[in-house]
Amino acid sequence: MAAKMTREKRFNKLRRGHPILAVLFYFIICQIFLAVVAILLVAFFTYAVDSKLSGEIDSVKYLAGIYEQYGESEQAAMMMEAAGRDFVVRGSDGSVLLSRGENTVGERAATPQINIGWLVGKVGVSMEENMAGQNAVHVYGDSSEQFFIIGDKDELTVDFTKLSEAVRENRLRETVEANEWETGANSRVIEMPLWVGTETSDGRELIGKVSIKMQYKDIAVIMMIGAAMALLAFLVFVLLVGNLIRGIRRQRTLTNFFFTDDVTNGKNWMHFLFYAGRELRKRRNAAKRYAILHLAIVKYRNFCMCHSIAEGENLLRRVNYLLSKAMNKRECLAHVTSGSFALLLQADDEETLRHRLSGMIDSLQTVDQRHHFTFQIGVYLIEPNVVDGRYRARKDADPESYYNNACSAKATLEETDDSGIAFFDKKLQDMRQWEDTVNELQERALANEEFVVYYQPKYAPDTEELKGAEALIRWRPADRSICPEGSELVPPGMFIPIFEKNGFITQIDHYMLEHVARDQKAWLDAGEKCVPVSVNVSRAHFAEEDLAEQIRDTVDAAGTPHELIEIELTESAFFDDKNALIRTIEQLKAYGFSVSMDDFGSGYSSLNSLKDMALDVLKLDADFFRGDADEERKQIVVGEAIRLAKQLDMRVVAEGVEDRDQVDFLAGQGCDMIQGFIFARPMDKEKYLRRMQGMMDDE
């Protein structure tokens, strides 16, 4: 589960990645850089303007101080005249009391700030707060509306439209035509006339004419620095974007490599999980019906064995090509493993989808003219997600789980080699839910000893004497609701296959062996006439090298004699590691345990197994005694199997015997024990104890 969650997080991170966000991030960074450059240029120009105006404003202050000290006396007039600066003294009523030069004082600025846009691009200069730290300074426009450009030799006067309005509105606009600028002027000065006024203590105001003078070359340097910084920012942006594009291309190359199947050169399982999950979770697809398919080439492995792996891979590539032609751009196809493919299809309804899949199988059967192939498809339908009468996005869509359901549906077709289509239905859904329930409850059931041992006696067919028993497991759950209706037990067929699938069966083996050994020891101590009890050991257990030692230690812990425990192996175990199995059997026999083969005759390698394994007991499978086969032929086979076992010094147990004629026949053939309903069904240990004591309870 943890690995699955980690993978989902990686997919979600990949799904949320958008290169445009990185480009936007780099763009914002460059914009911030340009803004910082602009702020620095503004600060530099503001400082330059302040330094230029500082002396001018001090001169106006100086005139105001003379006037305030000497008033309108002749001495004041002479001293102010000597300063060489145009000025106007106004009374509180606005009347001119004293002046020098032409009175071109315009209107007072609405705010003490001038935007000198024609110099460095709308630089803000606060006359009231920034000019050399002077306070109580008023700014007036120049009604002459003149803008001066002073060249090397002569002075050029250019109209500056409506200067007073420009001042009030905090803007200045350059109206100089391009052809009015002199070329090659190395010491050109730009001068802008303004009037600055300051109030005296008696309420009058002295307004002096000042000028902002800037060397053209200084302004040009500032503008060149700004342009260079802007160019640098642009180059950095280009480099970053170029690097990002290369990274995106590299990422796409790696992603394509990661999502490409090595065999078909199409998409692989990882791509299927990513793409199908993304499509199913989209809000716009909430109302759509989808189907996830498990498509398998029947007997693909046999084809590879008969021909070659290379031909098998060529077959997969052709199948992948034909499938991709039958799909639209919103659907998904991926090669999973061996001869299996996963598909995500849009499905209007089950009937339409079934018709489409039949056509798909027909086209696939022509994939190779020299060989006939069949295809089986398991289908899981994904209905629209409706919540409170509205379509909602499938936020929890899990393509892997859906594909497993499709595999479960396909598994129902495995009894035949013909092409077929199977849909995941309610029955399979119930089976999957039951499997989940068992997986959830198994550990708790083991800890609470909810699993109980049932015993099925084995009798001699001639004397009907109790000769042994087989230990069988039943599940008495604390929650009786999971039991079949009318029963308090869960039969082994409902949980043993699940335990074999998830590996829990090995813990069950230990549990059963421990409980049987304890029961045998308790009965032996009570003076009962105990007989050997066979305990099944799963084939999964034989992967453990110390299995014989584990069995010995478990039985010894209970204090039970080894001859009272028989270890029973299913015939399927003989298809695993043969050498390990032989070694374990030899160790068990050395420890004094009997070893039996269960279900003899149900497979195809039984005689070969008897040749290699020194077994003590041979159990004839119940299928020998069922069905409508010719009775004479059946008896010949059973009789020869018994004689073969006797020649190998093995005892014979016939299981599944249900009528008296079979008992008599087996007795005549020398069968040692019979285990079947004709003598006894599986029973709990209390009833089995009474059987040992010779009491025959009614069943």
Query: How is 114-163 classified by DSSP, letter by letter?
Result: EEEHHHHSSEEEETTTTSTT--S-EEEEETT-EEEEE-SSSEEEEE-TTH
At 406 the three-state DSSP class reads helix
CB 564 within 8 A of CB 513: no
**Lowest-pLDDT range of 155-169, 197-211, 262-276:** 155-169
**Lowest-pLDDT range of 162-176, 274-288, 467-481:** 162-176
Give residue 318's pLDDT.
93
Beta strands (DSSP E) in 365-485 are 375-382, 386-387, 390-391, 420-423, 451-459, 466-475
Confidence band (pLDDT; 50, 70, 90) for 97? confident
pLDDT above 50: residue 449: yes
Mean pLDDT of 186-196: 67
d(CA 137, CA 147): 22
Mean pLDDT of 575-586: 80
Confidence band (pLDDT; 50, 70, 90) for 4? low
pLDDT above 90: residue 134: no
Confidence band (pLDDT; 50, 70, 90) for 113? very low
Confidence band (pLDDT; 50, 70, 90) for 426? confident
- Here the contacts of 60-65 (C-beta below 8 Å, separation 24 or greater) are 60/85, 60/87, 60/196, 60/197, 60/198, 60/206, 60/207, 60/208, 60/210, 61/134, 61/198, 63/87, 63/206, 63/208, 64/198, 64/200, 64/206, 64/208
Mean pLDDT of 4-15: 54
Determine how β-strand 138-142 pairs with β-strand 105-108.
Answer: antiparallel
C-alpha distances out from residue 251 to 232, 260, 437, Å: 28, 14, 43
Mean pLDDT of 684-695: 91
Give residue 403's pLDDT.
94
Give residue 109's pLDDT.
61
Mean pLDDT, the chain, as a whole number?
A: 80
Give residue 240's pLDDT.
75
In the chain the domains, ranked by start, together with CATH numbers, are: 25-177+185-228 (no CATH), 269-424 (3.30.70.270), 435-692 (3.20.20.450)
Mean pLDDT of 32-40: 76
C-alpha distances out from residue 641 to 423, 543, 610, 656, Å: 44, 30, 11, 16
Q: Which residue has the higher pLDDT, 652 or 578?
A: 652
User: CA geometry: angle at 14 spanning 11 and 15, to 5°?
Assistant: 85
Q: Which tokens hold the place of 361? A: 């199988």
d(CA 492, CA 472): 8
Confidence band (pLDDT; 50, 70, 90) for 494? very high
Give residue 141's pLDDT.
62
- State the DSSP H helix or E strand holding residue 569, giving kind and residue range, or none if neither: strand 565-570
